[in-house]
Structure formats: C-alpha cells, structure tokens
Amino acid sequence: MSKRRKPPILRKPPLAVADILKWADAFYARWGRWPTRHSGPIEGTNETWCDVDSALAQGYRDLPRGSSLLQLLAQYRDYRHRCYLPKLSMKQVLAWADEHRQRTGAWPTLHSGLVTGAAGETWSAIDLALRKGIRGLRCRMSLADLLAKKRGHRHHQEPPPLTTDQILAWAEAHHTLFGRWPTRHAGPVGTTGETWEGIDKALRKGSRGLTGISSLYRLLKDNGKFSGNCTPYRRRKVTPMA
C-alpha cells in the first residue's frame, strides 16, 4: 500500500520593507493612526499585520531578522512609541537648552513642556532619560544637574553640595571684608549664589552633603572663629517707642 503524499507547503511570497511602509501609509491615511500587529487584515492584500510583524521578528520572507512593525515605523516614519524612542546625545540636549534660553530668556526645566524644533520631545522626558541613563544618555543626572555642570546654571531646587571647609573659607572672606563673622542673617555669600541662611539650614538639616546636628554659629565656634574679642555679628533689637 503506497503512502499518502503530504500536500505541498504553500510558501508565502517574499515581503519588502518598501511594500510594508506603503501599506502602513495607506492605513494611516484612512484611519489617522499607524497600524500595530493587532490591526487585522491589510486592505487590498492577503496579508495581516500580525503576519508582517512575525516575519519581521523571525526574519521570514526575505526580511531582516530581529525587527518589528513598531521598530520599522519608528525608523522610517514619524512614529513614536515608548519602547522605541529615538536616541539622544548630550550635545543635542544642550543645543536645545541653549535655543530655549535664547528664545525665552530662561533655562528649561522639566516643567517647560515641548522642546521647540524636536517633534514629540518634552523636557520632562529628557529629564527622565538623563536620570535613568537611557536613550543613549549614559550619565545619571537630572536636567538641572546637566545645566549646572555644563552651563553654570544654578537651580534652586537642586543646589550643589557643600563642605565645611568651603563654608569656613567663605566665612574667613566675610570676616576679612566686614570685620565680623557671618550669622544666618548676613545675607548673600558674595557672588556664589548662596545665602548664609541657606547654609545655616543645610547645616541644621544635614542636607547638601553636610552631616547635620549643627548650625553656622556652632561650626564657626567649634573651629575657633570666636576667640579673643571676635564675636559674631548679631542684629540689634529695636525697642518700640512708647
């Protein structure tokens, strides 16, 4: 008894990237959105978007392996997907920041909204990419940190760290200039962008790299700044007139 022959396997015709993009453009023109692998049959063909996506992933039908429909659209069309966002570079981010400052007079923050001249980009997304070190940005810092490091912009919500040696050096300069040691009420610390009140708060709270459980007065006293006749400057109490 002869064995029954298996029916021949019907191989699907090869696919071309240009054809897939043409079908995607027609889908977008009709529905106002790009197709996904769940978009069903491709109109005018015997294909489905699921089959196209699988062929791209597996490298079937003369297509390159390791891709997907979403990656193809992100590469060749103006399509943004959270999993396939374009790469960024520090040079590019800084150029956008420079343009933002030139146009608005202020450096961008993560709340500055859309990035002008960069379709689909927002400053909050750039800040997130910087913090997580993704999208080609290997440094792990915030947008404020980047602008402080590369453009000298000081952000009030993320001030740079402090050291006791730095504070004592500023106090020595203050004493040389005014003949008295600074207190928390002494105002700005030269042109550094710091204030003595801010430094006193950082010492008390243990923030900005300081250990805490201290104050500006205690730091100066513990380092021998009030020896002899040198006393810290205090505000005079104003007695109300009768």
pLDDT digits (tens, 9 = 90+) for 151-160: 888 776 667 7
> Mean per-residue pLDDT for 47-65?
92
Place of tokens 């005079």: 236
Q: What percent of the chain has pLDDT over 90?
A: 54
The domain spans of the chain are: 17-76, 90-151, 164-222
> Mean per-residue pLDDT for 37-62?
93
Q: How far apart are CA 57 and CA 38, in angstroms?
A: 15
Q: What angle do CA 23, 26, 29 make, to 5 degrees?
A: 150
Residue 150 near residue 91 (C-beta atoms within 8 A): no
pLDDT of residue 6: 65
> Mean per-residue pLDDT for 83-110?
91
Q: Kindly report the pTM of this predicted structure.
A: 0.55
pLDDT of residue 225: 81
* pLDDT tens per residue, range 160-207: 788 999 999 999 999 999 999 999 999 999 877 789 999 999 999 888
* pLDDT tens per residue, range 102-146: 999 989 998 999 999 887 899 999 999 999 999 999 888 999 889
Q: Is the pLDDT of residue 2 over 80?
A: no
pLDDT of residue 230: 46
Q: Is the pLDDT of residue 51 over 50?
A: yes
Q: Is the pLDDT of residue 7 over 80?
A: no
pLDDT of residue 227: 59
> Mean per-residue pLDDT for 83-106?
91
Q: How far apart are CA 61 and CA 219, in angstroms?
A: 74
Q: At 236, is the pLDDT very low, low, confident or very high (cuts 50, 70, 90)?
A: very low
pLDDT of residue 233: 47
Q: What angle do CA 48, 52, 56 make, to 5 degrees?
A: 170
Q: Is the pLDDT of residue 239 over 70?
A: no
